[in-house]
Amino acid sequence: MARVGVFVCFCGANIADFVDVPTVVEEAKKIREVKFAIDYKYMCSDPGQQMIRDAIVQHRLTSIVVAACSPRMHEKTFRKALSDAGMNPYLLEVANIREHSSWVHQKDKKAATDKAGDLVRMAVAKSIANEQLHEISVPVTKRALVIGGGIAGIQAALDIADARIPVTLVERSPSIGGRMAQLDETFPTLDCSQCILTPKMVDVASHPYIELIPYSEVIELDGFVGNYKAKIRKKASYVNFKSCTGCGACWQKCPVKVPNEYNMGIDKRKAIYTPFPQAVPNKPVIDAEHCTYLLKGKCGICAKVCEKGSIDYTMQDEIIEREIGAVVVATGYGMWDAKPYEEYGVGRYKDIINSLEFERMVSSNGPTGGVPMRPSDGKIPKTVVFIKCVGSRDKAKGIEFCSKICCMYTAKHAILLHHKVHDSRAYIFYMDIRAAGKGYEEFVNRAQVETGAVYLRGRVSKIYQKGDKLMVRGEDAQIGQEVEVEADLVVLATAVIPDKGNPALARLLGISYDKYGYLSEAHPKLRPVETAKAGIFLAGCTQAPKDIPETVAQASACAAKVCGLFAGDTMKKDPMVSTVSREFCSGCQNCVKVCPYQAIVTEDIPLGHGSKEMRTVAKINEGVCQGCGSCVAICRSMAINLAGFTDPQIINEIVAI
């Protein structure tokens, strides 16, 4: 015979103002199995928990119902109270009479009280069928995979490795460094981006706990948290990194010229190249799409000039497999293509560039030696118009969100322009100046005061050419007039968009992404680093636009999460997972299709005892299962059972009302 204890919480006034708590207690007492019922002002407080612990012992209770707030708030608290009293924690049921009753029925106390009573009756009925459950232990492979070698991936890898946990860092391009390696100086302190980044890049390469696999991509991820298996395709570099000294003879002699990605296509690189002088690893690769020898079998100059004989045209892509326990995704961002802004003449005028192109021009290691130049004629621009929010905050043509970093880097660009071309002037068209951050507002003020940058609040409606000038026509909303600026160069702060490969990568990893292609965090406020899939974490702009300090903070947060996950030899996991009764399973595999976590596979078992004929049944990996119950609902044979939500439990609940 079940002996249920019911504990009804006032939650201060939150519940008691709209639900008559003593009535709920009296109603509970009428249930045959309820041997003890009581109310208290704050059940989650220490005295409240003590009441539960005492009652369990005194009244020899077999299950507990707490009628209080959402189980998301305090289920863990009350489960712990049960354990402390020597009771299996999963014999607890929470009746949510706050979010589900008092908060939503504030105008009708009687109805709210009745509903609270019903919720308690259901919980009591369910708890009677509760079974003792035990946490699941899952073994952990203590190696992390970091995807993307920009500042986010670098920081995450270093922090994890510093905790003496091995890291495999996979980078798509020939060198790590990412977008930050393309930047000149960084806001709000104007310290040189390269100078603060390259030491970290070198640390990555030399760290005993980091395995750097450049020029490669993750192509497969199987398994579950703590026990993933990753397949990595290492693209053929056609250069033997072991013997190559990085002397540079090959790329000096290579006759093929290709637009240079590192310099945003402003100048050319060779078909055999290192992306930039500070590259890590500092070894060249051959770009197979452009190399004459690989395409047509002619040329071979790089092989001739290489003293070490490091060039190997026969090299093939290589598949590397690694067992890992956690993944940090840090694939970074790209720039939105401003083509839809036809009124700006994007694509028709050479002297309209985007901010990253401008960044390369003012970079001292950039294609123009650190001095901005007009792409059309190479002249040094004196009047530069910066237009913010091109594509951002623009539902009609671009993207709804704010790209967050443009206000700050445009202020920086105004300052850099002034530093490089003293007699120049920057005009900045803006919607709002969003300078929330430490030292940010001061930095924007600096741009305005020190460099005399003219901030014009308003949108640009048209850009047209007049002679060799670009006429930028816009609104100055603060004086309510149309203004026209005769510009030498126009720089568009185009929207920050996620990497194009994100949707494919998300599918490969089994995580979700939003309509823009940003990877989705598990909770926008309280779990901003985790994904919905256990053991996969997000760092940097792959999740949303953010600046360097925020990216680094998130990357370190990822590292903390990974270290936490790897703290023990095994991981504990809630036992609310599904199991298949093989004898009932018809092998239809509908559950395999509906499982959002890819936790269900199939296995072949003998048709009958000792039989040689086989039949297929579903098999659930309890390490991956998150207990969502989709498989239970779809199963026609009622062969799947979700612990904590079994058929008898649910039926009891329904019968109770």
Residue 265 makes contact with other proteins by CB under 8 A: no
Distance CA 345, CA 338 (A): 10
3-state secondary structure of 300: coil
Instruction: Report 397-436 residues binding other proteins (CB under 8 A).
Output: 419-420, 422
Residue 163 makes contact with other proteins by CB under 8 A: no
Distance CA 239, CA 649 (A): 64
* Cα angle, residue 616 at apex, residues 639 and 630 outer, rounded to 5°: 40
Q: Cβ 371 to other proteins, closest distance in Å?
A: 5
Q: Cβ 379 to other proteins, closest distance in Å?
A: 9
Residue 342 makes contact with other proteins by CB under 8 A: yes
From 246, 375, 501, 629, residue interacting with other proteins (rule: CB under 8 A): 375
From 214, 223, 281, 367, residue interacting with other proteins (rule: CB under 8 A): 367
| In 177-265, alpha helices (H) | 193-206, 249-253
352-354 sheet: strands from edge to edge: 352-354, 489-494, 383-390, 425-430, 454-457
Distance CA 187, CA 444 (A): 10
By beta-carbon proximity to other proteins, the closer residue of 422 and 515 is: 422
For the chain, what is the radius of gyration of the CA atoms? 31
By beta-carbon proximity to other proteins, the closer residue of 205 and 471 is: 471
Cα 340 to the chain's mean position, in Å?
Answer: 28
Please, what is the angle between helix 406-420 and helix 355-362, to 10°? 30
Residue 252 makes contact with other proteins by CB under 8 A: no
Q: Cβ 467 to other proteins, closest distance in Å?
A: 8
Residue 162 makes contact with other proteins by CB under 8 A: no
From 220, 317, 318, 343, residue interacting with other proteins (rule: CB under 8 A): 343
Which of the ranges 50-58, 228-236, 337-345, 532-540 carries the binding residues for other proteins, by CB under 8 A? 337-345
From 464, 516, 597, 645, residue interacting with other proteins (rule: CB under 8 A): 464
Residue 248 makes contact with other proteins by CB under 8 A: no
Residue 370 makes contact with other proteins by CB under 8 A: yes
By beta-carbon proximity to other proteins, the closer residue of 346 and 519 is: 346
What tokens appear for 263 in the block? 């310099």
Given a contact cutoff of 8 angstroms between Cβ atoms, the answer to whether 331 and 145 are in contact is no
Q: Cβ 460 to other proteins, closest distance in Å?
A: 13
Residue 308 makes contact with other proteins by CB under 8 A: no
Residue 483 makes contact with other proteins by CB under 8 A: no
Residue 508 makes contact with other proteins by CB under 8 A: no
Which of the ranges 289-297, 373-381, 534-542, 610-618 carries the binding residues for other proteins, by CB under 8 A? 373-381
Distance CA 317, CA 437 (A): 45
Interface pattern 377-396 for other proteins (x via CB under 8 A)? xx-x----------------
Given a contact cutoff of 8 angstroms between Cβ atoms, the answer to whether 480 and 402 are in contact is no
Contacts of 338 (CB under 8 A, 6+ apart): 344, 346, 354, 390, 391, 492, 494
From 17, 267, 337, 476, residue interacting with other proteins (rule: CB under 8 A): 267
Contacts of 47 (CB under 8 A, 6+ apart): 40
Which of the ranges 140-148, 325-333, 404-412, 461-469 carries the binding residues for other proteins, by CB under 8 A? 461-469
Which of the ranges 223-231, 277-285, 341-349, 585-593 carries the binding residues for other proteins, by CB under 8 A? 341-349
**Torsion angle of C-alpha atoms 498, 504, 510, 512, degrees rounded to 10:** 40
From 38, 129, 266, 431, residue interacting with other proteins (rule: CB under 8 A): 266
| Amino acid letter, residue 498 | P
Q: Cβ 655 to other proteins, closest distance in Å?
A: 48
Distance CA 79, CA 504 (A): 40
Q: How far apart are the first and last CA of the chain?
A: 21
Q: Cβ 354 to other proteins, closest distance in Å?
A: 18
By beta-carbon proximity to other proteins, the closer residue of 367 and 510 is: 367
Q: Cβ 365 to other proteins, closest distance in Å?
A: 10
**Torsion angle of C-alpha atoms 607, 613, 617, 623, degrees rounded to 10:** 110
* Cα atoms found within 13 Å of the Cα of residue 208, Cβ hemisphere only: 2
Which of the ranges 279-287, 457-465, 596-604, 640-648 carries the binding residues for other proteins, by CB under 8 A? 457-465
Which of the ranges 81-89, 97-105, 132-140, 376-384 carries the binding residues for other proteins, by CB under 8 A? 376-384
Which of the ranges 69-77, 367-375, 387-395, 574-582 carries the binding residues for other proteins, by CB under 8 A? 367-375
Tokens 């220490």 correspond to: 46
What tokens appear for 477 in the block? 């909303």
By beta-carbon proximity to other proteins, the closer residue of 76 and 348 is: 348
Q: What is the DSSP string of 526-578?
A: TBSSB-SSTTEEE-GGGTS---HHHHHHHHHHHHHHHHHHTSSSEEEE-S--E
Q: Cβ 419 to other proteins, closest distance in Å?
A: 8
Residue 71 makes contact with other proteins by CB under 8 A: no
* Residues near other proteins (CB under 8 A), total: 25
Distance CA 169, CA 152 (A): 11
Distance CA 83, CA 2 (A): 18
Which of the ranges 168-176, 368-376, 403-411, 492-500 carries the binding residues for other proteins, by CB under 8 A? 368-376
By beta-carbon proximity to other proteins, the closer residue of 221 and 362 is: 362
Q: Cβ 377 to other proteins, closest distance in Å?
A: 5
Task: Give the binding site for other proteins (CB under 8 A).
Answer: 266-267, 342-343, 345, 348, 364, 367-371, 373, 375-378, 380, 419-420, 422, 462, 464-466
